[in-house]
A and B are shown apart, each in its own frame.
Chain A
């Protein structure tokens, strides 16, 4: 039932505006990325077979009902910015209080998990991109080299390809590394999905921020840099 409601919401989303179908492809990209991002560890060599209750195969953590679960996202008023870009941005706290950031109010919360160590939250933007934050299992005390190798192994294990990566970057409060990832989304009509991904190191956790778009570059996503810049990983 919950799954059907979610599907209905996404379907309604797909019908909006001139970007029809793009959000659907982004949703597929997000589903495909769950293995890479949510589990925080390389997939086993011979994963157990999926059952009829596993929509994408052996995906680990089940999403929660984002319409009723207050733990998915909580308001964080100190980061509210009603006038940013003239559109209204809201401060929120996600991943059980581990990450705070400012997001456009018009984003749609798509799905999430609050499972400790594997929590994530995913949004859809009406500007035809998806935005997700995944908790990684790495200790924040690890060397970057180990964190990056673990992440890159996950990417490869899931059939994706890093076409650029390990690029130093920083938010206002965290050091990070940026990647460009290509993923082939298996579906009736296979889609090549491209994402920009950022590993961010906080004092207590490592997270992966993933932006999936059908655009060739991020040039049109004018809000994105500002959103990334304001993420605070605790």
Chain B
């Protein structure tokens, strides 16, 4: 992951709260992004189009998977100002519930430093980073406004509020 020294520019702690569960995106992070919940069935082209719409270079590469596993696509994207791209693993699941649950299971299995987003039936797992790296990348690429941003810290998964969410 690219380093995220400025990550505190993108999040605040809720008043009177602290720790990973207290983080909230600053209002300007998603101010110009449509946050309405997505109910359509998606594939990787939706994510690629979103990233390209943010002015980022993004390309998808399908991965061979075992017959009983969901489709897996690598989406390569570079954060603004970064030359090296980051590989996002995009799993295409049958439903939003499965996307949310499979991402949760994967995050707990991968442990501290793991993070991801999910939107409708898509679950996106990012590469390991520390808290600041992950937060800054998700904010600068606006991934936090495309999917529900979740990260692992202290052995548990936490959602950063104020970005995209589904009921």
Q: A-side interface residues toward B, CB under 8 Å?
A: 143-144, 163-173, 175, 178, 180, 196, 211, 217-219, 221, 224-225, 228-229
A166 and B165 alpha carbons, distance in the complex (Å): 15
> When the two chains form their complex, are residues B97 and A180 in contact, meaning their CB atoms are under 8 A apart?
yes
- Is B95 part of the binding interface, using a Cβ–Cβ cutoff of 8 Å? yes
Docked-complex contact A178 and B100, CB < 8 angstroms: yes
Nearest CB in chain A: distance from B167 CB, A: 4
> CA separation between A180 and B99, bound complex, in Å?
13
The contact of A166 among B14, B104, B158, by CB within 8 Å, is: B104
* A229-B96 Cα distance, complex, nearest whole Å: 18
Q: How many A-B residue pairs have CB under 8 A?
A: 66
Secondary structure dominating the interface of B? mixed
Q: Chain B residues near A218 (CB, 8 Å)?
A: 37, 39, 167
Chain B hits for A164, CB < 8 A? 95-98, 100-101
Q: Can you spell out 18 A-B residue pairs with CB atoms less than 8 angstroms apart?
A: A163-B97, A164-B95, A166-B101, A167-B100, A167-B101, A167-B104, A170-B21, A170-B159, A171-B161, A172-B14, A175-B21, A211-B167, A219-B37, A219-B39, A221-B167, A225-B166, A225-B167, A229-B161
Nearest residue (CB) in A for B107 is: A168
User: With A and B bound together, what is the CA distance between A80 and B1 in angstroms?
Assistant: 43
Q: Is B65 close to A, CB under 8 A?
A: no
Contact pick for A168, options B24, B37, B104, CB 8 Å: B104
In the bound assembly, the distance between CA atoms of A221 and B166 in angstroms comes to 12
Asked whether, in the complex, the Cβ of B158 is within 8 Å of the Cβ of A175, the reply is yes
Bound CA span A173–B165, Å: 14
Report the minimum CB–CB distance from A139 to chain B (whole Å): 16
CB-CB < 8 A to A225: which residues of B? 37, 165-167
Complex contacts, A229 vs chain B, CB 8 Å? 161, 165
B134 an interface residue at 8 Å Cβ cutoff?
no
Q: Report B's interface with A, CB cutoff 8 A.
A: 14, 17, 21, 24, 37, 39, 95-98, 100-101, 104-105, 118, 148, 150, 156-162, 165-167
CB distance from B20 to the nearest CB of A (A): 9
Considering the complex, give the chain A residue whose CB is closest to the CB of B100: A167
Cβ of A55 to closest chain B Cβ, rounded Å? 30
Interface centre among A143, A163, A173, A228 (most CB of B within 10 A): A173
CB distance from B117 to the nearest CB of A (A): 11
Distance A43 CA – B166 CA, assembled complex (angstroms): 31
Question: Which chain A residue has the least Cβ–Cβ distance from B160?
Answer: A170
**Provided the pairs A173-B14, A221-B167, A229-B165 are in contact, do residues A144 and B156 lie with their beta carbons within 8 angstroms?**
yes
Ranked nearest first, the 10 interchain pairs of A and B with the lowest CB-CB distance are A164-B97, A167-B100, A170-B159, A219-B39, A225-B167, A170-B161, A175-B21, A168-B157, A224-B167, A168-B150
**Assembled-state Cα–Cα distance A167/B160 (Å):** 14
Contact B167 A168 (CB under 8 A): no
Distance A228 CA – B166 CA, assembled complex (angstroms): 10
Smallest Cβ-Cβ distance to A217: which chain B residue: B39
Residues of chain A lying within 8 A (CB to CB) of residue B166? 169, 225
Say yes or no: A169-B165 contact (C-beta < 8 A), given A175-B21, A178-B100.
Answer: yes
Contacts of B96 in A (CB 8 A): 164
In the bound complex, residues from chain B placing their C-beta under 8 Å from that of A221 are 167
Q: Please, which residues of chain B bring their CB within 8 A of the CB of A172?
A: 14, 24, 161-162
B148 to A169, Cβ gap below 8 A?
yes
Q: Measured between alpha carbons, how far is A169 from B21 in the docked complex, in Å?
A: 11
A211–B104 Cα gap in the complex (Å)? 22
Q: Whole-angstrom distance from the CB of A229 to the nearest CB of chain B?
A: 7
